[in-house]
Amino acid sequence: MHMFLMTFFYSQHIRIIFSQCVTIHQGGIKIFFIFTGLFLCQNSKHQKPTTMLLKTTLFNIALLFCLTNSTYPQEYVHAEVYGGKQQLREFIKEELVYPEKALNENTEGTVILSFIVKSDGAIENLKVSQSVSPELDNEAMRIFNQLLWDPANYRGMQLDEEQSMEFPFKLKKYKRCAKHRGYSEINYPYTLVDQSLTIYKGHQLDERAKPIFKEKGMGFNQFIAKNLVYPEAAMKQNIRGTVEVFFVVEPSGRVSNVKVLKPVGAGCSQEAIRLIKMLKWMPGIKDGKAVRTKLILKISFNLADFEQHRYISPNNANQM
């Protein structure tokens, strides 16, 4: 009985320490080792061999547990929209259109949507958990439905996750935003627009999406050469490589859901994103309607030919 009570006592302490250890980083684990060693080995000269054996066993278990978990400083990664929070904020600023009825009635408030991001990135159980008005609720839904998601991840395993998203509607802020961006309604280059939100690959289209350049005769090579700014950190470290970026061309011709597939460090990935977001596109066409199109672009960073940085693709744009 004495041995059982002693085992329970020490195991309770180890269990408490375990619960704290799971989420801490390696620096904190070092502190854990010191603390646990002092706890288990105190007054060791006056302890029975069985007591020392028990404490040593428990310490070894604790050590093994922490070593296993120390390789995962961030165990759980939440589901996130393509490009992260910063690009989400930018997309909402570009896309949000305050409904006319809500404008006339000075309707304001925050719409909250709740949903589940499935392990494959699909969305299920989307609903309005906090409503403001039918018009504002619908606008929040319209924007949300254009977003693509990376699922939650735990140690390389993709998981379902419940989430919510807030859409604040503030009249003064919206009017400032509309003035800054230069439009209060979304303009579409084609009259007929596909409303299904389906994203097509290039080979599925009657007409592929095409970039619009302000200067006549300009192509991707010239556009990149003229606008690419080689990141200072990349220049100092002589970093080179090719950034591969996924994005969607919306029926309006704007770019959304930008996601780096193959990054290059020292600011190169960020510069590639900046270049892609500078472009305006003519959307892809299917059955006479403007549709959403997915593309992948590759941008090369090479100091050896800095004056001739070029866009890489055998067919100008890999429309998947």
Angle between helices 2-21 and 49-70 (to 10 degrees): 20
Residue with tokens 């190169």, as numbered in its chain: 268
- pLDDT value of position 124: 97
- Per-residue confidence at 60, pLDDT binned at 50, 70, 90? low
At residue 50 the predicted structure's pLDDT band, cuts being 50, 70 and 90, is low
pLDDT score of 114 more than 70: yes
Amino acid 303: pLDDT: 80
pLDDT digits 0-9 by tens, 160-213: 999 999 999 999 999 999 999 999 889 899 989 999 999 999 999 999 999 999
Query: What sign does the CA torsion over 52, 56, 59, 65 have?
Result: negative
Mean pLDDT lowest among 5-9, 60-64, 74-78, 198-202: 5-9
User: In sequence order, what are the beta bridge partners of 297?
Assistant: 245
Cα–Cα nearest to 249, from 212, 295, 311: 295
pLDDT over threshold 70, residue 105: yes
Output the pLDDT for position 91. Answer: 94
pLDDT of 265 > 60? The answer is yes
d(C-alpha 222, C-alpha 319), whole Å: 20
pLDDT of residue 11: 40
Q: Is the pLDDT of residue 290 over 90?
A: yes
pLDDT at position 258:
96
The arithmetic mean of pLDDT across residues 64-74, rounded, is 52
Written as one letter, the residue type at 231 is P
CA–CA dist 21, 24 (Å, integer): 5
CATH of domain 199-312: 3.30.2420.10
> Please, which pLDDT band fits residue 225 given cuts at 50, 70 and 90?
confident
Instruction: Answer yes or no: are the C-beta atoms of 26 and 73 closer than 8 Å.
Output: yes
In Å, what is the CA distance from 224 to each residue of 44, 210, 227, 319? 70, 16, 5, 19
Alpha carbon distance 204, 293 (integer Å): 9
Of all residues in the chain, the percent with pLDDT exceeding 70 is 72
In the block, tokens 């390789």 appear at: 71
Interatomic CA distance for residues 277 and 3, integer angstroms: 68
State which fold the 77-181 domain adopts: TolA/TonB C-terminal domain (3.30.2420)
Average pLDDT, the chain: 81
Q: Where do the CATH 3.30.2420.10 domains begin and end in the chain? A: 77-181, 199-312
pTM, two decimal places: 0.72
Does 295 score more than 50 pLDDT? yes
